[in-house]
Amino acid sequence: MKVHIFDTKEKLYDEVSNYYIERLNKNPNLNLGLATGTTPIPLYDRLIEAYKKGLVSFKGVKAFNLDEYLGLEKNHHQSYYYFMRNQLFNHIDINQNNCFIPSGDNPDHETAKKEYQELLKQNQVDIQLLGIGSNGHIGFNEPNTPFDTKTHVVKLDEKTRIDNSRLFNSLDEVPTHAITMGISEIMNAKEIIVIATGSNKKDAVYEMIKGNISENVPATVLQRHPNVTVYIDKDAASKL
Ligand code: GLP
């Protein structure tokens, strides 16, 4: 695991976005595993800016998102479908038919799971982007998720719902369940990039990098992956 610590978030996001641009220019047909949450937004902003300047194209890219809330309609302002279109896809030249997100509005969860598992079996992700939950979750794989899981439906931890309630009008509105790429599918990516900023992530970051590998803290599984780079600011790194 390579760990890069930055004095400022600006430097961190400049570095990560430059890396994506470089990789996309070398291989315009990358399969990108993408994430939601507030953490990736400054990266997506920089990628949009680079696209507008003609420095990068996403025409050949396929995008595979990590997760989605269950029960929100696609156009709900907090659905990850809506988030991805607003924060990235609508502003770049990606083919929207090549943008995949587990389907949270399909009441047939079994089919939704199988479809996404099949999709990931047929398309290996080249670079998987991850944020990290303050409880160490990756995607929506909450503590004690077995490491061998494929795409599955999860009951969200109360901590996760409380963390994410800042984006909803109230805690009651935060869905109780989600559908997420499984840990084994995340680990199947050729390369993984983790971004974490802010002191509320310092415990999770510490465990991910220095903790014992344990299903209690899903992000610790990343220690077993051969190609992980962690980009953190000094606040997120403050316990290391
Ligand atoms: C969310 C997402 C994760 C994300 C994490 C951190 O609930 N499911 O994919 O990495 O929690 O979110 P944030 O970046 O807003 O701190």
Q: If you average pLDDT over every residue of the chain, what do you get? A: 97
3-state secondary structure the chain: CEEEEECCHHHHHHHHHHHHHHHHHHCCCCEEEECCCCCCHHHHHHHHHHHHCCCCCCCCCEEEECEEECCCCCCCCCCHHHHHHHHCHHHCCCCHHHEECCCCCCCCHHHHHHHHHHHHHHCCCCEEEECCCCCCCECCECCCCCCCCCCEEEECCHHHHHHHHHHCCCHHHCCCEEEECCHHHHHCCCEEEEEECCHHHHHHHHHHHHCCCCCCCHHHHHHHCCCEEEEEECCCCCCC
Q: What are phi and psi of 127, to 5 degrees?
A: -130, 115
Any idea which residue has 């990606």 for tokens?
94
The number of beta carbons lying within 10 Å of the beta carbon of residue 33 is 29
Tens of pLDDT, residue by residue over 67-84, are: 999 999 999 999 999 999
Contacts of residue 214, defined as CB under 8 A and 6 or more positions apart, other chains included, come to 220
What was the pLDDT predicted at 112?
96
What was the pLDDT predicted at 123?
98
Measured between alpha carbons, how far is 7 from 5 in angstroms, rounded to an integer?
Answer: 7
Mean pLDDT of 170-198: 98
Catalytic, 137? Answer: yes
Confidence label for 222 from pLDDT (cuts 50, 70 and 90): very high
Measured between alpha carbons, how far is 76 from 68 in angstroms, rounded to an integer?
Answer: 12
CB 15 within 8 A of CB 231: yes
Tens of pLDDT, residue by residue over 102-155, are: 999 999 999 999 999 999 999 999 999 999 999 999 999 999 999 999 999 999
Mean pLDDT of 213-233: 98
Show the ligand 1 pocket: residues with CB < 6 angstroms: 35-39, 66-67, 131-133, 139-140, 160, 164
Catalytic residue among 31, 76, 142, 233: 142
Catalytic, 142? Answer: yes
Distance 131 CA to ligand 1 centre (A): 6
Which residue is closest in CA terms to ligand 1's atom 6? 133
Q: What are phi and psi of 66, to 5 degrees?
A: -70, -40
Distance 134 CA to ligand 1 centre (A): 8
Tens of pLDDT, residue by residue over 52-70, are: 999 999 999 999 999 999 9
Contacts of residue 211, defined as CB under 8 A and 6 or more positions apart, other chains included, come to 217, 220
